């Protein structure tokens, strides 16, 4: 072991030195005053490369593959070559993106490169040409351990255990990682990605991929590593950025360090509630109204509403230079039909205004021509009385006051810039503000009854009774309405980096979208996702059995049918890496009560700690909860303890528990702690979709679960 550690330490020292050399070179090359467009683009690329190198200090090297043919490859967070490609040190980072090429073996292979894939997928049954896999554990720049796995000649499965889990590879390194204390922030798991996880990370991105995975199966880890892999493999995605949608701001904070640590910065992280710049969710609506507003039928309602606002054809009488000009209704109808075709409301309005400017200019020219014809005819009658032929000076050609094409164009431009004409166009086809329009719709029962026949009178009453401030269910409706109306003016992207530009624009089209806790999305939220990625390059991960949202979906097919139809690919994660067997054994009956017929994921490890339970009265609860948390913190020193309770009991517990995370089951989704204290599970189960929430609450710990049950549940919370 000592000689192996020394060997890997020598390699890590060389890789760190190469990284430092490249980082120093890139830092010297960065010019913050660049103004030339080409140079600005180059500086942006150099800055991305520098950030990737700077972030790679921790865990730079974590693996090694020894092939049967004697080839040795080290695997790391980024790729590095021994020598600059084409004479430029900064180019070696780019060259690492093709780290599988034979003619130029890299010093360090990027974990996303094809050459690194056997590190995750090779097994003793299918060694893929590899003789040994080595996991290298480091702390900073120090190698602290190695874990070798023979891939040929061993005669056992790759896990080395007797669980029958032949799909697992590197179980020793995986279990070591799982036993590490939780710190409240997600860490990367590149070195311990398992076979079924890696298959999802590297799956094609040509359409929606929906990944079902129970608690602790690594859904979020897989989703985020998939982002890094796709951005590495398909560089055009970086030009459009990747959107990562999470269930809450707390969750986004939790994962905030993962993607930068993987070397990817072309990412926008958001929740569905924060997707609209300048729009803030100010309240929580009731479940019944949230379910109503989540239905796909609202798309048709909003389309009918906007279509009804397009003006009807009628004769238009316009004033220009003191005279009135009439545009016939038939001509206006043609202009309206031409303007509306496939366009948003405001874009169609702009096209109609341009056509109206041209129609007025043409009408002015035509009316002037008619007037001149009349004047010329009268002039010739006068001259004929004196038997005098019109002189050359008085011929028609010289009296011709017709406007040339250039003069008509100039007239049209004057009309387009005239404030009075602009006010007239506004009166005929007004600009609309989406927030005002949606508020008016949602608080007009007669309008809703006419446009939304799918709603019952009671449902309309419930919607109309809602306050005017926005709830989560309003955001997808507002987004759909915004899309139908379109922007009045073309928005200008803000910021230097792609992610900043994407974040500033409501209508930005992303290269890929990743959705975590996707089972919570309503049908209208799914439409909001696809609006941002019309190519349907989407990865959605979640657990349908952990659904707590107000919608009625209990299967993935039900959840996505209204938006995706049958055009999506299912995938599944079946192995629980986080939650120990002792805790997972409690989940079967809970799932059954939740209405699920799915089997819980198979737990891969045992913590050796049985779940425990204490019965307390409401009066004792705060004191015993504080004492239990203190004992858990002592047992899991260096890690984290979280407390989950029904919302009604949280105010009475907050003062007693201090800074300890104290959350509802819904708020805890996606998080994990070394130990969890679950309070009043019966009250959680009694809430809407309560057994789904209880399933979430039971599976947040990596080591120990404690439960406090209430012996006098009829007493009001203290």
Q: Output the known binding site.
A: 213-220
In order of 337, 372, 400, 464, 583, the CA distances from 377 in angstroms are: 39, 9, 12, 67, 102
For the chain, the helix, strand and coil percentages under 3-state DSSP, each to the nearest 5: 45, 15, 40
> At how many degrees (to 10) do helices 297-309 and 434-442 cross?
110
Q: How far apart are CA 475 and CA 277, in angstroms?
A: 11
DSSP secondary structure string, 244-280? EE-S-HHHHHHHTTHHHHTT---EEEE-GGG-STT--
Q: How far apart are CA 36 and CA 34, in angstroms?
A: 6
Which has the closest alpha carbon to 108: 74, 140, 151? 74
> At how many degrees (to 10) do helices 297-309 and 523-531 cross?
60
Q: Cβ neighbours of residue 437 under 8 Å, at least 6 residues apart?
A: 305, 481, 485
In order of 187, 209, 574, the CA distances from 514 in angstroms are: 18, 10, 20
Taking the CA of residue 639 as centre, how many other CA atoms within 13 Å lie in the half-sphere pointing to its CB? Answer: 25
Q: How far apart are CA 2 and CA 146, in angstroms?
A: 10
In order of 366, 404, 419, the CA distances from 407 in angstroms are: 13, 5, 20
DSSP secondary structure string, 604-672? ----S---EEEEE-HHHHHHHHHHHHHHHHHHTTTS-EEEE--GGGHHHHHHHHTTS-EE-TTTTTT--
The two tokens of residue 138 are 């480091």
Q: List the end-to-end C-alpha distance of the chain, in Å, as a whole number.
A: 57
Q: Which residues are annotated binding-site positions for ATP?
A: 213-220
Which 3 state secondary structure label does DSSP give 394?
helix
Contact present, 667 and 643 (Cβ < 8 Å): no
Q: How far apart are CA 696 and CA 546, in angstroms?
A: 6
Contact present, 133 and 149 (Cβ < 8 Å): yes
Site of tokens 């913190």: 633
Contact present, 121 and 169 (Cβ < 8 Å): yes
According to DSSP, the residues that pair with 251 across neighbouring strands are none
3-class SS string, 492-551? CCCCCCHHHHHHHCCCCCCCEEEEECHHHCCHHHHHHHHHCCCCCCEEEEECHHHCCCCC
Contact present, 229 and 194 (Cβ < 8 Å): no
Strands 267-270 and 242-245: parallel
């Amino acid at each position: 072991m000592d000689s192996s550690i020394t060997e890997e330490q020598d390699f890590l020292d060389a890789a760190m030195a190469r990284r430092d050399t490249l980082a120093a070179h890139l830092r010297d090359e960065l010019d913050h005053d660049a103004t030339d467009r080409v140079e600005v683009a180059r500086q942006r690329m150099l800055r991305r490369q520098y950030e990737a190198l700077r972030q790679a200090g921790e865990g730079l090297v974590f693996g090694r593959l020894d092939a049967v043919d004697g080839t040795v490859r080290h695997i790391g967070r980024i790729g590095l070559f021994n020598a600059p490609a084409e004479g430029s040190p900064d180019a070696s980072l780019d060259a690492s993106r093709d780290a599988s090429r034979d003619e130029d073996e890299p010093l360090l292979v990027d974990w996303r490169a094809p050459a690194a894939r056997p590190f995750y997928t090779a097994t003793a049954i299918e060694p893929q040409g590899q003789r040994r896999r080595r996991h290298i554990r480091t702390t900073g720049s120090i190698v602290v351990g190695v874990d070798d796995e023979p891939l040929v000649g061993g005669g056992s499965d790759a896990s080395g255990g007797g669980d029958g889990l032949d799909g697992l590879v590197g179980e020793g390194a995986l279990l070591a990682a799982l036993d590490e204390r939780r710190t409240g922030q997600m860490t990367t798991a590149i070195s311990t990605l398992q076979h079924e996880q890696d298959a999802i990370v590297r799956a094609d991105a040509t359409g929606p991929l929906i990944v079902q995975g129970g608690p602790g199966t690594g859904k979020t880890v897989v989703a985020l590593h998939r982002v890094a892999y796709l951005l590495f493999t398909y560089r055009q995605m970086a030009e459009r950025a990747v959107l990562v949608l999470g269930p809450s701001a707390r969750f986004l904070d939790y994962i905030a360090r993962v993607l930068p640590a993987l070397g990817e910065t072309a990412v926008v992280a958001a929740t569905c509630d924060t997707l609209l710049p300048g729009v803030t969710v100010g309240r929580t609506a009731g479940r019944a109204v949230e379910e109503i507003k989540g239905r796909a039928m609202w798309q048709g309602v909003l389309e009918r509403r906007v279509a009804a606002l397009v003006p009807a054809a009628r004769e238009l009488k316009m004033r220009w230079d003191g005279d009135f000009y009439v545009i016939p209704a038939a001509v206006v109808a043609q202009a309206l039909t031409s303007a509306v075709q496939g366009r948003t409301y405001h874009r169609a309005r702009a096209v109609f205004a341009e056509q109206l400017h041209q129609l007025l200019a043409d009408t002015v020219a035509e009316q002037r021509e008619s007037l001149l014809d009349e004047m010329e005819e009268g002039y010739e009658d006068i001259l004929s009385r004196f038997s005098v032929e019109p002189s050359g000076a008085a011929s028609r050609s010289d009296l011709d006051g017709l406007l040339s094409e250039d003069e008509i164009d100039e007239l049209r431009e004057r009309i387009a810039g005239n404030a009075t004409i602009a006010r007239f166009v506004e009166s005929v086809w007004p600009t609309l503000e989406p927030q005002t329009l949606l508020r008016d719709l949602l608080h007009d029962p007669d309008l809703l009854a006419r446009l939304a026949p799918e709603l019952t009178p009671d449902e309309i009453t419930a919607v109309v009774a809602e306050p005017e401030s926005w709830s989560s269910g309003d955001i997808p409706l507002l987004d759909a309405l915004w899309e139908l109306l379109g922007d009045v003016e073309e928005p200008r992207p803000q910021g230097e980096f792609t992610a900043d530009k994407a974040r500033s624009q409501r209508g930005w089209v992303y290269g890929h979208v990743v959705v975590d806790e996707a089972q919570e999305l309503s049908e209208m939220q799914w439409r909001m996702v696809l609006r941002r990625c019309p190519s349907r390059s989407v990865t959605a991960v979640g657990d349908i059995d952990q659904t707590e949202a107000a919608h009625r979906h209990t299967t993935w097919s039900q959840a996505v049918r209204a938006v995706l139809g049958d055009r999506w690919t299912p995938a599944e994660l079946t192995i629980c890496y986080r939650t120990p067997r002792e805790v997972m054994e409690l989940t079967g009956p809970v799932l059954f009560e939740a209405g699920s017929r799915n089997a819980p994921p198979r737990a891969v490890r045992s913590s050796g700690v049985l779940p425990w339970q204490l019965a307390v009265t409401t009066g004792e609860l705060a004191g015993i909860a504080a004492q239990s948390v203190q004992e858990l913190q002592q047992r899991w020193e260096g890690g984290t303890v979280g407390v989950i309770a029904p919302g009604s009991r949280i105010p009475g517990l907050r003062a007693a528990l201090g800074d300890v995370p104290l959350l509802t089951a819904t708020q805890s989704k996606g998080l994990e702690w070394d130990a969890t204290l679950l309070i009043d599970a019966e009250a959680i189960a009694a809430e809407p979709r309560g057994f789904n929430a209880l399933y979430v609450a039971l599976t947040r710990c990596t080591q120990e679960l404690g439960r406090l049950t209430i012996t006098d549940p009829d007493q009001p919370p203290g």
